[in-house]
Structure 1
Amino acid sequence: MPRSRFLRGIDWLSGTAGYTSGILIIVAMLVICYGVALRYLFGMSTIWQTELAVYLLMFATFVGGAYGLRHGDHVRINLVVQVLPGRVQIGVRLLAAVLGLALVLTIAVVSGFMWWEAVERGARSGTAWNPPLSYPYFILPLGMGLIALQYLSVVAGLFRALLAGELGDDAPDQPAESAEGGPGL
């Protein structure tokens, strides 16, 4: 059964978040190299380089998490699960995905309140650069929201596999192979 347009949209969003995160890691590396070169070649320093690099890497970590979940690159211990019968494996993976969804939704809500408080107060970092904290505080609820959407996609796939009685060798919470042989986006 083909995936719905909504689930394909979630996969596209996760893929876009992953590639954006990869680009921002490169940008963070360039910012750090710029700061190092400026300091050691010219004896000068910046007031923004370290903080910006931290914010870029925060974005890559939290927003890129949805991409990792989409491609099964998240940490999981499946030694015991692998020896269980097929339907039980799917059930255990479904339970783990539902618990993961609940966790990231909780973090998204709590961090969303923190972000809104920073917006209302006009909080700033307090460093020499002193950027508004509303931008970096938005990274966590955004990332957890994207991971929650990807967990919805995983739960839907596992639930469909459980109902259909799919007992194949591939873990049903992993992305299907595309026609080109790689993970489908």
Structure 2
Amino acid sequence: MTSLRSRVLAISRPVSLSIAGALLFIDLAVILYGVFTRYLLGGAPIWTDELARFLIIGCVMLAAGAVWVEGGHMRVALAERLLPAPLSRLLNLYQWLLTVIVAVGGAIISYRYALSVSMFTSSGLGISRTIPMLSLPIGFALLAWHALWYGPAPLPTVEDSA
């Protein structure tokens, strides 16, 4: 099972990060286009700010699960290091369960919300608000996916990678 778990994570993490990186690159291009048109042509299209905002939210949400598995998110692991091994394992289990519950709950709630705003359109892009809002449930679902496959093991720290 461990090899299957590591293979699934070895595939899903780079895919998530690659898609998030592509969204970040597109976001950079949209922002540069907006700056170019605003300062060199006298006015930027209204959709550039809105699209940049939606892209950065999507980028962060898609990368969250992969970053969590790598231990790259901001956290303080002091308690894990100071506690005795049995209590440290219990703390890891608690953190893992909390992450999975929050991620699944966030996916369900944000999916319902994304569907509830389908009648509204965005002001700049003129598309249904559901389309950009779907990045939230997808991101939370990916976080739950990565957390479930990773399991209640200790997360890597900066000291582990050095």
TM-score (norm 2): 0.87
In structure 1, runs of 5+ residues without a counterpart are: 159-171, 176-181
2:156 is equivalent to residue 174 of structure 1: yes
- 1:43-72 CA-to-partner distances (Å, cap 9, x unmatched) read 132121111111110111111101111211
Aligned to 2:32: 33
Identical pairs, percent:
24
Larger radius of gyration: 1
Q: Which amino acid aligns with 1:174?
A: P
Aligned to 1:149: 145
CA offset at residue 11 of structure 1?
4.2
How many residues align? The count is 158
Aligned to 1:16: 15
Could you tell me how far apart the structure 2 residues matched to 1:88 and 1:15 are? 32
CA offset at residue 30 of structure 1?
1.4
Q: Which amino acid aligns with 2:81?
A: Q
CA offset at residue 128 of structure 1?
4.0
- Partner secondary structure for residue 13 of structure 2: helix
Aligned to 2:126: 130
Could you tell me how far apart the structure 1 residues matched to 2:81 and 2:130 are? 44
CA offset at residue 12 of structure 1?
1.8
Q: Which amino acid aligns with 1:33?
A: L
Could you tell me how far apart the structure 1 residues matched to 2:65 and 2:14 are? 8
> 56-65 or 15-24, which moves further after superposition?
15-24
> 29-38 or 86-95, which moves further after superposition?
86-95
Q: Which runs of 4+ in 1 moved over 4 A?
A: none
- Partner secondary structure for residue 2 of structure 2: coil
Decide which structure has greater helix share.
2
RMSD (Å) for aligned C-alpha atoms: 2.1
Could you tell me how far apart the structure 2 residues matched to 1:134 and 1:87 are? 45
2:66 is equivalent to residue 67 of structure 1: yes
Could you tell me how far apart the structure 1 residues matched to 2:87 and 2:124 are? 56
